[in-house]
């Protein structure tokens, strides 16, 4: 947590950095042009971008922007050359002039587009080694680098030192104050391993989305997943004690199919009878279809008087990056379903897609269509 007893002063800068999935740079640029049209794109390498504020303007460390396609962002102070780890450490500490931070985040920009040659964005061994070196403060070592918490997972308000290995020997550095728009892990990259029993990598996609979203999901509740085959995400839900209705015409993995809390409806989302979903409180979707198809399918279930949902966790695929301009409209549509809080992010285990979550607090029991009809008839009679 932020140490308010010893506030650190801010180093002035007029630059802002973003790291994102390789290939998502144009999406980030478009989002920035909408949110901060007065800032100018300054520099980029695949997966890393900087923006410059207008002359005379300074960027505050607690700057927070609802960027869907940024996995990490913050103020950018510059770059140093690091021919060796030791030289990099000295150069960085000199630049930081005794500033203190709660956390240290060190990561590399993505090495490949997500999914190419089965590449999963993760922190590299080099990034881990730089982190270990920077955290190790020997007695009497000068200049000092002050990181108060060795654990890198940030909590709200933390002042985080960001070190990005744009090249192994070229470290860009900056800082952010952890807000709700930031991910808590270095570069938005968690070290979550794929469990040995997982039937697909989508296990991680769901596990991370649940951790990020903090949806108030409880053990024993029912959920449904549209597009559940082969079953990685369903497994992550089952492992958290949920009962799952998987909806997909394609085959499920036997490990998932045989789970006592799993029910398979071998159907398309459009063929499901709403009464078969009466028990569900959460709706997940991960279908390889156009965004409007996913949104129509979710809306169809939400509108049914037979289903009382607390929230949704859906993946929206962007088959073409040009669809980025439609993203605000997709989110507006989700808000229009009566969810006070809607969050959207392209997470570490997302491919060319992003995750949307939304939930509401439990309200009075929903009325069935029959109850609504009776009530309106009674109203007409007494009028």
Largest CA distance in the chain: 87
Q: β-pairing, 146-147 with 262-265?
A: unpaired
* Single residue of 286, 324, 327, 359 touching ligand SAM by CB under 6 A: 286
Q: Tell me whether residue 50 or residue 269 sits nearer to ligand SAM (CB atom).
A: 269
Measure the CA–CA gap between 64 and 178, rounded to whole angstroms: 9
Which of the stretches 27-35, 45-53, 157-165, 285-293 binds ligand SAM when contact is defined by CB under 6 A? 285-293
Measure the CA–CA gap between 73 and 183, rounded to whole angstroms: 9
Which of the stretches 18-26, 241-249, 275-283, 323-331 binds ligand SAM when contact is defined by CB under 6 A? 241-249
Asked if 206 and 236 touch (Cβ cutoff 8 Å), the reply is: yes
Q: Does 202 bind ligand SAM (CB under 6 A)?
A: yes
Helix segments in the chain, DSSP class H: 25-35, 85-96, 125-135, 202-213, 232-239, 254-257, 291-302, 327-335, 369-382
Measure the CA–CA gap between 333 and 329, rounded to whole angstroms: 6
Helix segments in 217-353, DSSP class H: 232-239, 254-257, 291-302, 327-335
Residue 113 Cα to chain centre, angstroms: 17
Helix 291-302 and helix 327-335: axis angle, to 10°? 0
Q: Does 228 bind ligand SAM (CB under 6 A)?
A: yes
Q: Does 232 bind ligand SAM (CB under 6 A)?
A: yes
Which of the stretches 104-112, 135-143, 147-155, 221-229 binds ligand SAM when contact is defined by CB under 6 A? 221-229
Q: Which residue has the tokens 């042009």?
A: 33
Measure the CA–CA gap between 353 and 18, rounded to whole angstroms: 18
Q: Tell me whether residue 184 or residue 232 sits nearer to ligand SAM (CB atom).
A: 232
Q: Does 23 bind ligand SAM (CB under 6 A)?
A: no
Q: Tell me whether residue 227 or residue 311 sits nearer to ligand SAM (CB atom).
A: 227
Q: Tell me whether residue 16 or residue 203 sits nearer to ligand SAM (CB atom).
A: 203
Q: If we measure between CA atoms, which residue out of 150, 129, 289, 282 comes closest to residue 217?
A: 282
Using CB under 6 A, count the residues that bind ligand SAM. Answer: 20
Minimal distance, residue 4 CB to ligand SAM, in Å: 43
Q: Does 248 bind ligand SAM (CB under 6 A)?
A: yes
Instruction: Tell me if residue 174 falls in helix, strand or coil.
Output: strand
Q: Tell me whether residue 298 or residue 344 sits nearer to ligand SAM (CB atom).
A: 298
Count of CB atoms within 10 A of residue 172's CB? 23
Which of the stretches 129-137, 225-233, 325-333, 374-382 binds ligand SAM when contact is defined by CB under 6 A? 225-233
Within residues 255-284, the interface with ligand SAM by CB under 6 A covers: 268-269
Minimal distance, residue 286 CB to ligand SAM, in Å: 4
Q: Does 174 bind ligand SAM (CB under 6 A)?
A: no
Within residues 25-84, the interface with ligand SAM by CB under 6 A covers: none
Q: Does 231 bind ligand SAM (CB under 6 A)?
A: yes
Q: Does 230 bind ligand SAM (CB under 6 A)?
A: yes
Count of CB atoms within 10 A of residue 59's CB? 20
Which of the stretches 62-70, 78-86, 175-183, 223-231 binds ligand SAM when contact is defined by CB under 6 A? 223-231
Task: Give yes or no for a cis peptide into 283 (omega within 30° of 0).
Answer: no
Q: Does 294 bind ligand SAM (CB under 6 A)?
A: no
Q: Point out which residues bind ligand SAM (CB under 6 A).
A: 200, 202, 226-233, 247-250, 268-269, 286-289
């Amino acid at each position: 947590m932020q140490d308010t007893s010893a506030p650190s002063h801010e180093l002035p800068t007029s630059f802002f950095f973003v790291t994102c999935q390789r290939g998502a740079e144009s999406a980030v640029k478009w989002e920035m042009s909408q949110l901060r049209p007065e800032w100018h794109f300054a520099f980029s390498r695949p997966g890393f971008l900087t923006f410059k504020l207008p002359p005379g303007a300074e960027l505050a460390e607690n700057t927070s922007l609802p960027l869907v396609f940024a996995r990490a962002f913050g103020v950018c102070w510059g770059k140093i050359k690091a021919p060796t780890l030791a030289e990099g450490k000295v150069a960085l500490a000199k630049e930081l002039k005794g500033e203190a931070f709660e956390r240290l985040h060190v990561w590399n920009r993505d090495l490949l587009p997500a999914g190419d040659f089965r590449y999963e964005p993760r922190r590299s061994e080099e990034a881990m080694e730089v982190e270990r070196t920077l955290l190790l403060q020997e007695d009497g070592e000068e200049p000092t680098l002050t990181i108060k918490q060795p654990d890198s997972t940030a909590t709200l308000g933390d002042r985080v030192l960001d070190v990005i290995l744009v090249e192994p020997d070229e470290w860009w550095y900056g800082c952010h104050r952890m807000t709700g728009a930031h991910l808590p892990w270095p570069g938005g990259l968690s070290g979550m391993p794929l469990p040995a029993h997982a039937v697909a990598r989508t296990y991680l996609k769901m596990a991370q989305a649940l951790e990020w979203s903090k949806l108030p999901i409880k053990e024993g509740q029912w959920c449904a997943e549209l597009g559940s085959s082969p079953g990685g995400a369903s497994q992550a839900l089952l492992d958290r004690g949920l009962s799952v209705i998987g909806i997909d015409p394609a085959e499920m993995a036997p490990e998932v199919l045989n789970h006592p809390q799993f029910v398979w409806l071998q159907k398309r989302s459009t063929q499901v009878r709403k009464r078969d979903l009466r028990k569900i409180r959460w709706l997940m979707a991960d279908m390889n279809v156009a965004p409007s198809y996913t949104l129509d399918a979710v809306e169809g279930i939400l509108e049914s008087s037979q289903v009382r949902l607390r929230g949704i966790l859906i993946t929206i695929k962007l088959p073409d990056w040009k669809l980025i301009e439609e993203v605000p409209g997709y989110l507006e549509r989700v808000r229009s379903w009566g969810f006070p809080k809607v969050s959207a992010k392209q997470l570490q285990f997302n491919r060319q897609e992003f995750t949307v979550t939304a939930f509401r607090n439990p309200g009075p029991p929903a009325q069935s269509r029959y109850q609504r009809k009776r009530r309106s008839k009674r109203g007409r009679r007494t009028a």
